[in-house]
Structure 1
């Protein structure tokens, strides 16, 4: 059975040890076992829980939403509708962010194309291109 210390997880997930202690303090990681020296000992289940926390955080969930998810998950029969609503709302928010990012990406691509042509026109002594040729 593999166990990890706080420094192991800190390095593995490139996060501060204080963040791990904070997640434990908030109850997100649950009660972490301590060894005879009082040092935290993380088991695979703790690592998987941490990975879920980090994934949810990357997905834009607040600490409160993450806490709610784990509360719902502990009694999923009672809270399945709450879990689905929380996850569906987050999914829709991510989709909206993805769409906005896609639009920004396409705009930057058009700018790159336009200014590449501007550079060629300057170097070749030709007329500047018209932005309308690159716009939607």
Structure 2
């Protein structure tokens, strides 16, 4: 089954502009065209977009995502490199999560302090 750019935009919550940009930047190397030159996306393209969005969501720069996809296009001889890239990305995510947890703990502590102060203030205001 194939999909138009508007169908893919709706399915992925990405704009048609972003889809065209990703293709231009080499992130979607296999998008087919109809005889009339209209883009036709496949399920494999949708899977690739899922990967792109996932990696982008981790903060990976588009140039690094492009490198990853280029390696993927080269086949199994690049599996070790791709695993190394994903392992590094995972380490980065874990560090970010640890930092976010520390920030959340600080915010939670401040919330308790301010909530106690608010109760005290409201109790004295009566």
TM-score normalised according to structure 1 size: 0.83
Query: Larger RCO: Structure 1 or Structure 2 (Cα < 8 Å, ≥ 6 residues apart)?
Result: 2
Q: How many residues align?
A: 125
Paired residue for 1:22? 21
Q: How does 1:115-134 map to 2 (within 5 A)?
A: 115-125=114-124
Matched, 1:56 2:29: no
What root-mean-square deviation, in Å, do the aligned CA atoms of Structure 1 and Structure 2 show?
1.7
Q: Deviations over 1:91-116 (max 9, x none)?
A: 11111110111111111111111111
Structure 2, unaligned runs of 5 or more: none
Paired residue for 1:8? 7
Structure 1, unaligned runs of 5 or more: 127-136
Paired residue for 1:110? 109
- Distance across 1 between alignment mates of 2:10 and 2:70: 28
Runs of 4+ aligned residues of structure 1 deviating over 4 Å after TM superposition are none
**Which structure has the larger Rg over C-alpha atoms?**
1
TM-score normalised according to structure 2 size: 0.88
Using the TM superposition, name which of 9-18 and 92-101 deviates more: 9-18
